[in-house]
């Protein structure tokens, strides 16, 4: 039973490491995470909830997806574009999806 658990633990660790690399390679633009990797007009929308996965990892005590520097950059972009520039920053909360 323990051998089976170790096999699965290694399998999912490797899978998550590969997925993390692809996720960052496809979506990270140097400042924030694109909405998707397509060529659509909105592929680079700034989503206020782009950090939900990072939060979920933290809550579940899993390794983070992004480095602290990358995460802070995402939060700064979200704050600037989705909070301050939405309704001149007078609304409470962030708009989800800003280009």
8 A C-beta contact, residue 77 and residue 31: yes
Instruction: Kindly indicate the confidence band of residue 2, based on its pLDDT and cuts at 50, 70 and 90.
Output: confident
Rounded to an integer, the average pLDDT of 19-36 is: 96
Report d(CA 90, CA 36) in Å as an integer.
29
pTM score: 0.83
Rounded to an integer, the average pLDDT of 37-65 is: 93
DSSP 64: P
Q: What is the pLDDT of residues 72-95, one digit of tens each?
A: 999 999 999 888 888 776 777 787
Q: What residue ranges do the domains of the chain occupy?
A: 2-89
Average pLDDT, the chain: 90
């Amino acid at each position: 039973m323990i051998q089976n658990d170790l096999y699965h633990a290694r399998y999912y660790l490797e899978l998550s490491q590969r997925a993390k690399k692809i996720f960052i390679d496809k979506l990270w633009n140097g400042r924030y995470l694109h909405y998707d990797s397509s060529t659509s007009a909105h592929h680079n929308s700034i989503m206020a909830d782009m950090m939900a996965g990072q939060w979920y990892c933290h809550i579940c005590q899993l390794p983070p997806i992004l480095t602290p520097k990358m995460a802070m950059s995402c939060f700064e972009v979200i704050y600037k574009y989705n909070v301050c520039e939405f309704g001149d920053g007078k609304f409470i909360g962030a708009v989800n999806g800003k280009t």
